[in-house]
Amino acid sequence: MQGDRLTRGGGSADDSAPSIEMVEVGFVAAESQVRQRVALVAGGTGLTGAALLRLLLRNNDYARVHALTRRPLPLDHARLANRILRFEELGSRLMGLRCTDAYCCIGAAGGPRAPVAELRQVDRDLVLAFARAAQAAGATRLVVVSAAHADSRSSRPFLACKGEMEVALRELRFPSLEILQPGPVLGLRRGAGLADLVRLALLPLLNPLLRGNMEPSRAIAAADLAAAMLGAGRSPRQGVYTHAARNLRDLAVAGHRPG
Ligand SMILES: NC(=O)c1ccc[n+]([C@@H]2O[C@H](COP(=O)([O-])OP(=O)(O)OC[C@H]3O[C@@H](n4cnc5c(N)ncnc54)[C@H](OP(=O)(O)O)[C@@H]3O)[C@@H](O)[C@H]2O)c1
């Protein structure tokens, strides 16, 4: 609408209509608001996190991207700040940092096959610690990766930990909480072996067979999961939303759009 007015020129017969000058000021204000958004990302050294960082830096949604990692990122960009820290010390190490949106894609190595103790420590406790630190730094939106069929009552430790994490995150009452629930996340991780390559080749072939209540279990490429995270971050909606299956694919389309 505003763009339309600008190209048609000023001199509207309606005195209440904004002048070109006012409209331009509006544009500048909206643009600077976009420029002021700051992202805080956890898990940037992982498969999904690395893809997310590449997307955030390729697009202009954020004026600054703070990546929290426990080892240095192999990335250099004018808008990227890499803080290397132990996640157990998050609260005390983020003093003075401000952000608007937080993205969390940390997870225990091995994902669903990780030992229970690690799942509890990383997928539940460290995700929560990150969420609290992000909230203290001003984040009003949290986009977090959980898992398809996450349920705190599940007998499967991975799904139970993710379910417990979701319950605890809801209690933090972010104005906007976007929970992504993917099936297997595909891509080449550090130290990938033959079994991983076979998985990478076979799982996409099974996707069309997974329908109905099995559809959330479809495998997703890490690049698409990362795009879904950005898609969720781009949405202006408020409240708590969980995304699986088709919703996740729609978000990925939104996140892959240049912005
Ligand atoms: N893999 C699957 O099939 C699958 C399925 C459903 C959901 N998910 C979820 O999807 C998300 C992304 O998965 P992904 O496969 O992209 O993960 P990934 O490649 O294994 O990366 C995990 C990230 O978490 C970080 N991390 C692990 N333990 C940590 C700790 N103690 N302190 C700080 N950082 C730690 C890793 O840091 P380092 O690089 O320093 O180790 C890395 O950045 C995870 O939440 C995962 O649970 C995965």
Structure tokens at 166: 């979701």
Domains of the chain plus CATH, in order, are 97-256 (3.40.50.720)
Q: Are 46 and 74 in contact (CB under 8 A)?
A: no
Report the pLDDT value the prediction gives residue 131, as an integer from 0 to 100. 97
pTM here is 0.88
Q: Is 5 in the pocket of ligand 1 (CB under 6 A)?
A: no
Q: Which tokens is 101 given?
A: 């949106």
Q: With contact defined as beta carbons under 8 Å apart, do 29 and 22 qualify?
A: no
Ligand 1 contacts CB of residue 123 (under 6 A): yes
Beta-bridged to residue 65, according to DSSP, are: 39, 80
C-alpha distance across the termini of the chain, in Å: 19
Cα 108 to ligand 1 centre (Å): 5
Give residue 225's pLDDT: 98
Rounded Cα gap, residues 108 and 242, in angstroms: 21
pLDDT of residue 13: 34
Alpha helices in 114-156 (DSSP H): 116-118, 127-136
Give yes or no for residue 244 CB within 6 A of ligand 1: no
109 CB near ligand 1 (under 6 Å): yes
Interaxial angle between packed helices 222-234 and 245-256, expressed in degrees from 0 to 180 and rounded to the nearest 10: 80
Smallest CA separation from ligand 1 atom 44, residue: 107
CA distance 236 to 30: 14
Cα–ligand 1 centroid distance for 33 (angstroms): 31
CA 24 to centroid of ligand 1, rounded, Å: 44
Q: Which two tokens stand for residue 186?
A: 């595909």
C-alpha to C-alpha distances, 35 to 6, 32, 80, 152, 175, nearest whole angstrom: 22, 5, 14, 38, 20
Q: Report the alpha-carbon distance of residue 156 to residue 160 in Å, rounded.
A: 6
Residue 158, ligand 1, Cβ within 6 A: no
By C-alpha distance, which of 194, 199, 190, 183 is closest to 247? Answer: 183
Non-local CB neighbours of 230 within 8 Å, separated by 6+ positions: 52, 55, 56, 59, 61, 254, 255, 259
Contact 226, 56 (CB under 8 A): no
Give the whole-angstrom CA distance, residue 61 versus residue 38. 9
Q: Please tell me if the CB atom of residue 182 comes closer than 6 angstroms to any atom of ligand 1.
A: yes
pLDDT for the residue 35:
53
Pocket test for ligand 1, best of 85, 164, 178, 185 (most atoms within 8 A of CB): 185
Per-residue pLDDT of the chain (259 residues; tens, 9 = 90+): 223 222 222 223 333 434 434 444 444 444 455 558 999 999 999 999 999 999 999 999 999 999 999 999 999 999 999 999 999 888 777 888 999 999 999 999 989 999 999 999 999 999 999 999 999 999 999 999 999 999 999 999 999 999 999 999 999 999 999 999 999 999 988 788 898 899 899 999 999 999 999 999 999 999 999 999 999 999 999 999 999 999 999 999 999 999 8
- Residue type at position 95: M
- Which residue has the CA at smallest separation from atom 10 of ligand 1? 145
- Distance from Cα 122 to the centre of ligand 1, integer Å: 9
The pLDDT of residue 88 is 85
From the CB of 127, is ligand 1 less than 6 Å away? no
Non-local (6+) Cβ contacts of 185 within 8 A are 47, 48, 111, 219, 220, 221, 222, 225
Pocket test for ligand 1, best of 53, 85, 86, 105 (most atoms within 8 A of CB): 105
